[in-house]
C-alpha cells in the first residue's frame, strides 16, 4: 500500500462517516507507541513472539489484534511489527513510516525507529492506521 492509497482511503472514510479521518502525525503515532518506561509499546521487555509479528517468523502480515501482549498503553494493537505504518509527515522528499514490520528484526520494533520512503512506493510490508477526532470535538 502506498502513502497515496492510504490517504485516499482516509478521505473516503471521512466522507462515509461525516468526520475527519486521517493518517496520524509522527508525533501522535510515537506518543501512542511509547510508554512512560521502555522502548516498545508494551514497555521495557524485549520483543518476543507473543508480542509482535517480526523477523519473518510468520512470513506475512497477520490480522490486527492477535498479539494482545504487545498492545500499547492506550490499547492500540500492533504498534510494533506486522506492517510499517504510513504517517502524515513529509521528511526530506519522502514520507514517514513507523512501527517495524513482519520481515524486519527486533531492533526495528523500538518506538523511536522510522523509515523515510517515497510516497508512491508500495509493498505488503506497508500499511496504515487512522486517526479520527472524537465526535464531541466536532459537534460542540
pLDDT above 80 for 27 = yes
Give pLDDT tens digits for 2-22.
999 999 999 999 999 999 999
Give pLDDT tens digits for 66-125.
999 999 999 999 999 999 999 999 999 999 999 999 999 999 999 999 999 999 999 999
What does the pLDDT read at residue 44? 92
Give the domain 3-138 fold: 3.90.1580
Separation between Cα atoms, residue 41 and residue 18, nearest integer Å: 31
Separation between Cα atoms, residue 78 and residue 6, nearest integer Å: 17
Write down the domain spans for the chain.
3-138
Give pLDDT tens digits for 32-48.
999 988 899 999 999 99
pTM of this structure:
0.91
Amino acid at each position: 500500500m502506498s502513502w497515496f492509497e492510504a490517504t485516499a482511503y482516509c478521505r473516503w472514510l471521512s466522507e462515509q462517516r461525516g468526520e475527519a479521518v486521517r493518517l496520524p502525525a509522527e508525533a501522535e503515532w510515537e506518543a501512542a507507541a511509547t510508554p512512560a518506561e521502555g522502548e516498545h509499546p508494551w514497555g521495557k521487555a524485549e520483543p518476543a513472539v507473543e508480542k509482535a509479528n517480526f523477523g519473518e517468523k510468520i512470513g506475512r502480515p497477520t490480522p490486527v489484534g492477535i498479539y494482545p501482549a504487545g498492545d500499547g498503553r492506550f490499547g492500540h494493537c500492533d504498534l510494533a511489527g506486522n506492517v510499517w505504518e504510513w504517517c502524515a509527515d513529509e521528511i526530506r522528499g519522502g514520507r514517514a513510516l513507523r512501527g517495524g514490520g513482519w520481515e524486519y528484526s527486533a531492533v526495528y520494533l523500538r518506538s523511536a525507529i522510522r523509515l523515510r520512503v517515497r510516497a508512491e512506493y508500495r509493498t505488503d510490508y506497508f500499511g496504515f492506521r487512522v486517526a479520527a477526532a472524537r465526535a464531541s470535538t466536532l459537534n460542540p
